[in-house]
Amino acid sequence: MADTKKKLKNNRTALGGWMLIPHPAIAEIMAGEGFDWIALDMEHAAVDLSMVEQIERAVRPSGCDLFVRLDGVNPILAKHVLDAGAKGVIVPNVRSPEDVDIMTAAVRYPPQGNRGTSLARALDYGRNFDEYLRGHNDNVFVAVMIEHHLAAGRAEEILARPGIDAAFIGPYDLSASLGVAGQLDHPDVLTSERTILDACRRTGVAPGYHVVPPERARIDERIAAGYRFIGCSLDTHFLMHGCRSLLQT
Ligand code: 3PY
Ligand code: MG
């Protein structure tokens, strides 16, 4: 079982890095710093499937879990990224219990789901077929993103569906859906976040949040508020802030 999944089951915090630049060196550098998980972003970055394999090879020695943020509620892409070696998926903009059911089935083999079997890379090209299939349905990780105020309003119904490990708030989309794009501390955004957090408590799903500014204090605030599955900034922001802090006088 992926460590992230175990940690969340035990109500511990799992911190993740976020990759928009799909280069194995970025993955090696970030994974080597001790993140529990890394998300490779196929929603908002130019990442193709062959890169998922390359990034997984780079992440693997660290023991860090590689997840892929999909481009939507997309069961076909989920199958491809798992076959390539990702340990789980982060599904953006989940709006309904039906969306959850489509994705939790797509990532699991029958009888619980409908993922197609293969002799793909994740199964060591068939050498690990039996063992992978035996453990996979329990081991696979699924985070659903709640990032629209209408989904926040249905959060308890959405998160009550089985097979989800975490509910991950995308603050930018959430704020945009409320007409206050980028105003992450706007009272309406905070109210929606509280609704999602309460739904997590009632359903036993680990709450998650993407803290985009690379500031430890903001991560600690979210941990103190009860969030457990926390995305920490972006590779692009780490670079940008590193450059700025050097060049600013
Ligand atoms: C958002 O803020 O909308 C996100 O998707 C962050 O990952
Ligand atoms: Mg988003």
Query: What is the total count of domains within the chain?
Result: 1
Residue bearing the CA closest to ligand 1, atom 5 = 170
**Mind listing the pLDDT tens digit for each residue in 3-16?**
999 999 999 999 99
Nearest to 123 by CA among 138, 112, 134, 111: 134
How does pLDDT run across 69-99, given as a tens digit for each residue? 999 999 999 999 999 999 999 999 999 999 9
Given the CA of residue 212, which atom of ligand 1 is nearest to it?
6
Using 50, 70 and 90 to split pLDDT, how confident is the model at 249? confident
For the stretch 177-232, pLDDT in tens is 999 999 999 999 999 999 999 999 999 999 999 999 999 999 999 999 999 999 99
* Predicted local confidence at residue 2, as pLDDT: 62
User: How confident is the model over 118-132, as pLDDT tens digits?
Assistant: 999 999 999 999 999
- Closest-approaching ligand to the CA atom of 189: 1
Alpha-carbon distance 36 to 181, whole Å?
29
Helices (H), the chain: 3-9, 24-32, 49-59, 75-84, 97-106, 129-139, 149-153, 155-159, 171-177, 187-203, 216-225, 235-247
* Ligand 1 atom at minimal distance to the Cα of residue 69: 7
Please tell me whether the overall predicted TM-score, pTM, comes out greater than 0.95 for this model.
yes
Ligand 1 atom closest to residue 92's alpha carbon, by position in its atom list: 5
Tell me what the pLDDT averaged over the chain comes to: 97
Tell me how far apart the alpha carbons of residues 201 and 72 are, in angstroms, rounded to a whole number.
25
> Do 35 and 64 contact (CB within 8 A), yes or no?
yes
Q: State residue 129's pLDDT score.
A: 98
Q: What is the CATH number of the domain that holds 9?
A: 3.20.20.60
Residue with tokens 């450059």: 243
Compute the distance from residue 168 Cα to the ligand 1 centre, in Å. 9
Give the Å distance between the CA of 174 and the centre of ligand 2.
Answer: 7
Q: Which two tokens stand for residue 238?
A: 């780490």
pLDDT higher than threshold 60 for residue 156: yes
For CA atoms 228, 83, 74, 109, give the dihedral sign: negative
Q: Catalytic residue among 44, 136, 237, 241, which?
A: 44
Q: Is the peptide bond before 111 cis (omega within 30 degrees of 0)?
A: yes
DSSP classification of residue 232: E
Print the domain residue range for 192: 3-247
Q: Please check the confidence at residue 1 and state whether its pLDDT lies above 90.
A: no
Known catalytic residue at 44: yes
Count the alpha carbons within 13 Å of 11 in the hemisphere toward its beta carbon.
5
Confidence at residue 182, expressed as pLDDT on a 0 to 100 scale: 98
Report phi then psi at 223, rounded to 5. -60, -45
Phi and psi torsions of 72, nearest 5°:
165, -165
Tell me what percent of the residues of the chain surpass a pLDDT of 90.
98
